[in-house]
Amino acid sequence: MNSQFDELLKSIRADIKTFIIFSPINLAVERKRFFKSNFYNPQLVYPAIETDELKSAQNKLHKIKLHPDSSLENRIFNDRIRETKLKLRLFLSIGDPNKITRISQKLYQCKFDQESIRKAKYDANSDGVFSPQENFSAKEFRSELKNYLEKYGLRKWKVRIKKDADFYIQIRHKKELIIINEDLNWDFNSLDSALAHEIDGHVVRAINAIKQDTETFQNSLPFYIKTEEGLASYLGDYCAEGGKLALKHHAIKYLGGYIALHNSFREVYNFFIDNGFTPNLAFQRAFRLKRGFIDTSSPGVFAREAIYYEGMLEVKKYIEEGGSIRKLFAGKVGLKDLKYIPVPKDIIIPNRIQSKAQIS
């Protein structure tokens, strides 16, 4: 591998911050306008991006030749280039619903296949009412997270509360940081389900990755995110108290993504309301499916939000067919690359999954 190209790729990826570029600066204002009308679709404004810099990064990437041999290191490098190109194209597509839909589906590997849709409809019709499952404030939830992190000996991790965030919980594993929204929503989630998803899923995988011997596996592998969210969702939906409602929520959210392909923000919101979501939850989920859109009356979907359920189905199938749980937790890796990843010494396997699957 050419180390010069490797460093160039690292520098480009370091500047890619999806959570900043795709976070509207006027969401709170548009939310108020939305709820004052029965017809209004939010008109979103995003932070100014350095278009010239993104295009320059694209040009630099085009100069990097893909490696012809099929060694593991080179294959991962090639996939990382492909993934980075897709991310840059996605950023340059803000405000273009067709491009956002097409590129995000390819980047996040969201298929909306008929079998997944069929299963989602079944899970969406399961019992459960979307109403507060807990009454923890953000400060109380922060204490619960810290206590749970302490069980893994993770004392350096920080938990911060953010006002007016466009997410409920965000994990930034490279900074050993968890950010939670000051205005938490417990309508779809129990405390145990949240801990299973965020800590046993995202954080534990990050900690195990650090234990890898090589830099390749210490970092997130390309196209890993669908498996990442799928495993976290499996833990929260199938291995936690209150998981049945979380599963119902993921199924409805996935169907909402499918609806969004051909419908507006308002129509997606109405679909969520018709399926039992509370107004606050319905708005937040509809927004995340229209992230990157300026005029959200346009059809299309930001597929990142829809992969949880599809990814969960894939992880569930892998586990039920006897796949290696140790490899599944060995790092930030997608299912297609599990056969290549070594299992680090002293790997952490959450107790809650050990009763669900044979550890191998």
pLDDT band at 70 (very low <50, low <70, confident <90, very high): confident
Axis crossing angle, helix 265-274 with helix 243-260, rounded to the nearest 10: 150
CA distance 121 to 119: 5
pLDDT band at 222 (very low <50, low <70, confident <90, very high): very high
DSSP-derived secondary structure for 121-182:
HHHHTSS---S-S----HHHHHHHHHHHHHHTT--S-EEEEETT-SSSEEEEGGGTEEEEES
pLDDT band at 54 (very low <50, low <70, confident <90, very high): confident
Contact of 228 with 339, CB cutoff 8 Å:
no
Asked whether residue 92 carries a pLDDT value surpassing 60, the answer given is: yes
| Burial class, 229, CB count within 10 angstroms (exposed 0-12 / middle 13-18 / buried 19+) | buried
Asked whether residue 1 carries a pLDDT value surpassing 70, the answer given is: no
Q: What is the pLDDT of residue 359?
A: 62
Q: What is the pLDDT of residue 11?
A: 73
Asked whether residue 84 carries a pLDDT value surpassing 60, the answer given is: yes
Q: What is the pLDDT of residue 356?
A: 67
CA distance 130 to 188: 6
Query: Across the chain, what does the average pLDDT equal?
Result: 93
Sheet holding 177-181, edge to edge: 158-162, 177-181, 169-172
**Across residues 115-130, what is the average pLDDT?**
98
Side-chain half-sphere CA neighbours of 250 within 13 A: 29
Q: Is the dihedral of CA 146, 150, 152, 158 positive or negative?
A: positive
> Which residues, including other chains, have CB under 8 Å from residue 55's CB and lie 6 or more apart?
92
Asked whether residue 5 carries a pLDDT value surpassing 70, the answer given is: no
pLDDT band at 67 (very low <50, low <70, confident <90, very high): confident
Asked whether residue 123 carries a pLDDT value surpassing 90, the answer given is: yes
Q: What is the pLDDT of residue 51?
A: 87
CA distance 45 to 24: 5
pTM: 0.94
Asked whether residue 7 carries a pLDDT value surpassing 90, the answer given is: no
pLDDT band at 291 (very low <50, low <70, confident <90, very high): very high
CA distance 10 to 219: 11
Q: Position of tokens 């145990």?
A: 192
Encode pLDDT of 148-175 as tens digits: 999 999 999 999 999 988 899 999 999 9
User: Domain-by-domain residue ranges, the chain?
Assistant: 3-354
Strands 177-181 and 169-172 come out as antiparallel
